[in-house]
Amino acid sequence: MKSVDVLYFNLQVFTRHRWRTGMLAFCVALGVASVVLLTSLGESARRYVQREFALLGNDLLIVLPGKKQTSGGGVPIYGTSPRDLTLADAEHISRLAAVKSVAPIIAGNGAVSYKSRNRDVIVIGSTSGFLQARNLSLAMGSGLPDDSAEIARPVAIIGSKLQNELFSGQNPLGKMLTVDDYRYQVIGVLAERGESLGLDMRDMLILPVRSAEALFNSPALFRILIELHAVSDRQSVIEQIYQIVKQRHQNEEDITIITQQTVMQAFNNILVTLTAIIGLLAAISLVVAGILIMNLSLISVQQRRPEIGLLKALGASHKLIQQIFVWESLMLVIVASVIGLLCAQLIIFAANQWLPILQFVAPIWSHAVALGVAMLTALVFSWLPAKQAAIVSPVEVLRG
Amino acid sequence: MKLTDGLRWINRAVLSQRQRNLLTILGFAIGVSAVTILAAMGDSLKQFVLNEFTQFGSNIIAITPGKTETMGNTGILRTNRGLSLYDAEYLANLPHIKAMVPVVAGTAVVKFRSLSRATDVVGVGHHAAEAWNMQIAQGRFLPKDDLLQPRSFAVLGSKLKAALFSNKNALGQQIHIGSSRFRVVGVFASKGQFLGMDLDEIAYIPAAKALELFNRDSLMEIDLMYRANVDVDTLLTSVKNRLINRHGAEDFTIVSQDQMLESLDDILNVVRFAGIAIGAISLLVGSVGIYTILTITLSQRKGEVGLLRALGMQQRLLISLFLGEAVFMAILGGMAGLLLLACIQLALSLALPQLPLLFTFASVSLGLGVSIVVGLLAGATPAYQASRLPPIEALRAE
Amino acid sequence: MIKLAGVNKWYQSGSESLHVLKDIDLNIAQGDYLSVMGPSGSGKSTLLNMLGLLDVIDKGEYWLAQQPTHQLNEEQRASLRGKKIGFIFQSFQLINRLSAAENVALPLVLAEIAPAKRKQMVEQVLQQVGLTDRAQHLPAQLSGGQLQRVAIARAIVMQPELILADEPTGNLDQHSGLEIIELLESLNLKGLTLVLVTHDTQMGQRSRRKIKMIDGVLSEGVTEQANQQILQVSEQ
């Protein structure tokens, strides 16, 4: 039988059993749609994280004070160690040829007030390189002065939320803020950026690092962000930095350097695994649908035994009968899957309209995987019914 | 019809169409296990996380420097309005407070003779072991010294002790932390991990010494253990007010363990719900399967229906019988699903013993309950439709 | 055209082995018209199944158009069936969801003949059986006689050499049954070899050759009456 005729033949079967076909199609479509939707959830999350990291630039190294040699590994999250990481250390690192810029960071907590309003915020002390390294832009005013690492200028940049809370709409540039009894002049406002990997940039105060040093009365750096030129051997640069600090710290290697890459990789791996798991869980529904396919096909074969016997009498071969029944399931599954995929796309589209910040995306591979699994299910679960159909003996069914 | 006859009828009906019903039951079973497993995992995850947090004892209030709007500890950051040891002393003496633990932490190199280990070092008070439910394996914990001028004693986590001393005795030995000397007075029993941090690798010293070691003025956190049957909210307000008086402003964050667990609970509930939802998809497909097969089967059994009606069976009884078949199949499916669950549980417990129980009373009830409900729902329409057919039509249809 | 030599067939029934066909010898020439009669259980339907390649002989030889069929496998037999043999059953065996025309087209579809050509061939045979105006009707809308005519159209659409009819009038009333037999006979006169299984002695008497099956043994006789009928028709 020509393929076109097989398709038409099966189409007539579907039309005859509309309700049955519909229920089965519903199950398959549901399974396919959920696989796509769930994997797209995971994938969208992964891309979100990747985007956030990409914004931070690729060649970023992060130096933390402290080192752990414990069996579990681990990063010294406390940022506290007996020997301080200092601006002088940062300056020495910046002399390396491969280093493009260095942003030393002091991080603290302060009570900011303007006239009668006040607020507790996170205070960051850094240099002009900080805005660049973190990919932050200004809404108005200027960035940190170039001599932030040398002179403790009483100037500050504020985040957009801080601006609203303290100045409610007024132009803050030039106004004087008080932070823990110290006074600073506002020279810039950060553009609305929102959260950047944990730090809420809107609710922040940024000072020159020397000013922060004076404010908190401690030269201890919280981190050093290092931007590298495009280098072929990043590992050797990292080694060099370890050496520089070790020499300066009485031969103790008491810092930890992590690369943006490794952190991003870690997140990536977690999210990929998560996506795969939920995709798999959703795919279980396709297995259940497959069982229904098998069940319905077996019933159908049972009911159509005379028809099968006739076809054989008319010259249909064993193989052709099998093909017809396998194709029946396959056709159904393909059409139902396409419907499911379309529904999933619709839902994603609607979700993106409703909550544009989320930006869901259904990657092409998820469609292919869902369709592939559905088709595989059809093949596997129609195998037995098709075999049963093929062995129907014309002699038995044609009598009377 | 007598109940026993009815049950026998249902039993025969379901068992007669073996292949078809087996498949239907199988499909449903998978759906039920999916939901049950995911619900159980959600529960277990919640329990696991809660256990992680409450392993440090309950009835705790934590105070950190700086007022944060969001949850998230900023004790690590520098501050001018921190929590001092004087604050700690003051708070320790407040009414209803059973114990106080000052906390400051960092990383440093711990040395014994030629061996060294860079690890976390936490400065605490003498109540820490009791407050945080940690058992001493050798020696004792830090003694009750003057908070501001304590002796240089240290207590080591089990793994740290093993790394520096292997099997030899550590008690009484002098170690160096940073450039200062400390004497080991105790070793902790193995406590395990907390949120990925290995508690057995930590060295514990008096808080004042830690402040010196890390060049800090401010503590990172003050934990207060309060007596049982005290209303935590009133206590919270009272402590807060007193500290505001002392500092002149609310420049700190105070939170009770209950509050923290509540927020965690909310997040975990969402995860649990998501898991159940995913499982529910498979359950839905399985249920549609039952519904479809039942409808088809009943339309093929029109002759039987006609006969029963011709024999005088009441519509209500007819519905009950067919509904009974549906429920029976659903329950078989549910039990099969739970059996599957038990097998998975067995397999997992051999491979990963620390994973909590999946097969609990709650999950079994969920599984069976869902089965019964689905059986009723899926079977209702076909049963009702079958019963409505006029007997003469039913007989003719064959 | 057909030669059966020493054909034997056994059936398993429970633990017993029934000898259903016993040393059958039969020659059928092109254009022959045979009736096969006998009591139920005599093996006449089995004989028909053998001739139609629907079943395999256990011992002996079956030559169809100079081809030895006793060594063919299932696929080869199916192929041969489709090309050379047309079947007509007592219960018509039409597919209820297909129209008359679509039912007739089935063998053509199986043979992968192009749609345009199919249409032409179907129209031709429907005309031959006199059902052109019922081509689009579903089986449910046709009478018994009409259904059997559709079946006959289907049986001849591939222009087979042999037609096997198993009790073709069994489910029809007297009048329709006669119509069907006359239709089959007219086809036979055009050269189609016709083998008819029946238990209706009147129908059986009309054929030129009469085969009797009793207990698996075949015997043959011819009647004058049938011979004369043929002479009459050919003279007109």
CA distance B57 to B64: 19
Contacts with A281 from chain B: Cβ below 8 Å: 34, 38, 278-279
CA distance B175 to B113: 8
Using CB atoms and an 8 Å cut-off, which of residues 205-234 of chain C contact chain A? Answer: none
Measured on CA atoms in the order A40, A45, A46, A51, is the torsion positive or negative?
Answer: positive
Interface residue C106 vs chain A (CB under 8 A): yes
Phi, psi of B112 (to 5 degrees): -130, 115
Q: How far does the CA of residue A9 sit from the closest CA of chain C (Å)? A: 9
For residue C83, the chain A residue with the least C-alpha distance is A315
SS3 state of residue A257: strand
Nearest partner of A252 among B251, C185, B111, B263, judged by Cα = B111
pLDDT in tens, A299-312: 889 888 889 988 98
As a whole-number percent, the residues of chain B with pLDDT over 90 amount to: 21
SS3 state of residue C203: helix
pLDDT at B398 over 50: no
SS3 state of residue C196: strand
For residue B387, give both structure tokens: 């019963």
CA distance A86 to A71: 28
For residue B254, give both structure tokens: 């105070």
State the complex-level ipTM. Answer: 0.78
Q: At what angle do helices B361-388 and B315-351 cross, to 10 degrees?
A: 150
List the Cα angle A54/A56/A58 in 5-degree steps. 65
pLDDT at B72 over 60: no
Instruction: Tell me the domain boundaries of chain B.
Output: 3-52+263-396, 60-227
pLDDT at A218 over 60: yes
Question: Averaged over A198-219, what is the pLDDT?
Answer: 85
Burial (Cβ within 10 Å: 0-12, 13-18, ≥19) of residue B127: buried
Q: State how beta strands B153-156 and B203-206 pair.
A: antiparallel
pLDDT at B353 over 70: no
Contacts with C52 from chain A: Cβ below 8 Å: 313
pLDDT at B392 over 80: no
Mutate to test the interface with A, among C44, C80, C89, C92 (most CBs of A within 10 A): C89
CA distance B106 to A222: 12
pLDDT at A71 over 70: no
A66: confidence class by pLDDT, cuts 50, 70, 90: confident
Nearest partner of B225 among B58, B63, B53, B85, judged by Cα = B58
Interface residue A285 vs chain B (CB under 8 A): yes
Contacts with B282 from chain A: Cβ below 8 Å: 284-285, 287-288
For residue C152, give both structure tokens: 């006959």
CA distance A29 to A37: 12
For residue B212, the chain A residue with the least C-alpha distance is A82
Half-sphere exposure of B325 (CA within 13 A, CB side): 29
pLDDT in tens, B157-213: 999 999 999 889 989 999 999 889 999 999 999 887 776 678 889 999 999 999 999
Is residue C87 within 8 A of residue A316, CB to CB? The reply is: no
What does each C-alpha distance from B152 to A86, B157, C139 come to in angstroms? Answer: 28, 17, 103
A-to-C residue pairs, Cβ atoms closer than 8 angstroms: 68
Mutate to test the interface with C, among A2, A314, A322 (most CBs of C within 10 A): A314
Calculate the CA B242 to chain-centre distance. 35
pLDDT in tens, C92-135: 888 887 889 988 988 888 888 888 898 999 999 999 999 999 99
**Helix and strand element counts for chain C (H, E):** 8, 10
pLDDT at B388 over 90: no
- Taking an 8 Å cut-off on Cβ atoms, the answer to whether A67 and B107 are in contact is yes
Phi, psi of A24 (to 5 degrees): -65, -45
Nearest to A285 among B107, B179, B285 (CB): B285
pLDDT at B395 (0 to 100): 62
CA distance A61 to C176: 96
